[in-house]
Amino acid sequence: MAIPARSFRISPPVRAACPARSSSCRAVSVRKISKGWLDRVVSRSPWRMNDRGVDPQILKAWLSARSIARGLSAPVPEYGGFRVDTRSDTEVARWVFPQIVSGLETLAHSICKPRYFLKLCGSAEDLRALLPANWTLHAPSYFMQATSSSWPVRHLPRGYRIALSRANAVSEVRIFSEAGDLAASGYGAEAGNVFIYDRIVTQPDHRRRGLGRILMQKLHETKSQTCNTQLLVATEDGRSLYATLGWKTISPYSTASIVSA
């Protein structure tokens, strides 16, 4: 499909990623952000879901910690949002926007190939309205924050064991069944005064046994600072679990891409 005349090539931003993914380029530098400031920003509306986006500094803090957790380069400000060069088999890069900005629509019209993702802290309807017809919306997700710094103590069901490992600012928790199968896993990472939960997964055969709650509890215990603001992005199913743990949705998190034919 031809690129509209007003658009520009997408390759320069992607080439800006560090070559060979060296360890030096993966280091993420994050300005220290106070928990009080983050909480004041997030709570401007009385804990109802905000379709108008989130504060850019909150989003940047979450993205920075996520990059640390996944060994990616730091988010780069671009088009009014943040670009993360992922360079995987399924994704070259993603742009994440804290709210609707003109740069999002401009960028969308410049992309004509799959494997580039646009993400918005806003509703799927708002994102769809900015995109050319050949873009496809993905399943909805939700940007969430913990409302409590304490967690109820829960114990593993009989027959399960838990393993914890930590490398610098990243923690990994895995729960195994009696047969040795991986039943649940997840990661936690810190950047500045933010602690995030990432890739929280419970395998289908081991659900409804409280493993997800225990996994989150163990990751919570790895935080180096009790003042850290806790953030995550949840699927529709995950959102229900986190709500029972005292998490609140602060914004929809919508995704779109061009799907391969």
CA 88 to CA 228: how far, in whole Å? 30
Q: Does residue 118 fall inside a structural domain?
A: yes
Instruction: Mark whether 186 and 232 lie in a shared domain.
Output: yes
* Cα Rg, the chain, nearest whole Å: 19
Q: Can you give the pLDDT at residue 45?
A: 36
Stated length of the chain? 261
Least confidently predicted of 19-23, 34-38, 123-127, 180-184: 19-23
**Residue 20 pLDDT > 50:** no
- What is the token pair recorded at 218? 């163990």
Least confidently predicted of 12-21, 59-68, 110-119, 213-222: 12-21
Q: With bands split at pLDDT 50, 70 and 90, how would you rate the model's confidence at 49?
A: low
Q: Does residue 154 fall inside a structural domain?
A: no
Cβ–Cβ < 8 Å for 182, 176 = yes
Q: Print the domain residue range for 76.
A: 56-143+254-258
pTM: 0.79
Instruction: Mark whether 119 and 171 lie in a shared domain.
Output: no
Instruction: Mark whether 103 and 184 lie in a shared domain.
Output: no
Task: State the chain's mean pLDDT as an integer.
Answer: 83
CATH of residue 164's domain is 3.40.630.30
Query: Minimal CA–CA distance to 214: which of 185, 180, 243?
Result: 185
Q: Does residue 26 fall inside a structural domain?
A: no
Q: Can you give the pLDDT at residue 34?
A: 47
Mean pLDDT within 62-78: 97
Q: Does residue 2 fall inside a structural domain?
A: no
Q: Does residue 10 fall inside a structural domain?
A: no
- CA-CA-CA-CA dihedral for 10, 12, 16, 19, to nearest 10: 100
User: Residues 224-254: pLDDT tens digits?
Assistant: 876 679 999 999 989 988 998 899 999 999 9
Q: Can you give the pLDDT at residue 165?
A: 97
What is the domain count for the chain? 2
Pairing of strands 136-137, 76-78: unpaired
Q: Does residue 180 fall inside a structural domain?
A: yes
Q: Can you give the pLDDT at residue 152?
A: 77
Instruction: Annotate 143-164 with DSSP letters as a single string.
Output: EEEES-S------PPTT-EEEE
Q: Does residue 227 fall inside a structural domain?
A: yes
- Burial zone of 192 (CB within 10 Å; 0-12 exposed, 13-18 middle, 19+ buried): buried
Instruction: Mark whether 130 and 186 lie in a shared domain.
Output: no
**Residue 16 pLDDT > 50:** no
Instruction: Mark whether 133 and 72 lie in a shared domain.
Output: yes
User: Residues 167-186: pLDDT tens digits?
Assistant: 989 999 999 999 999 999 99
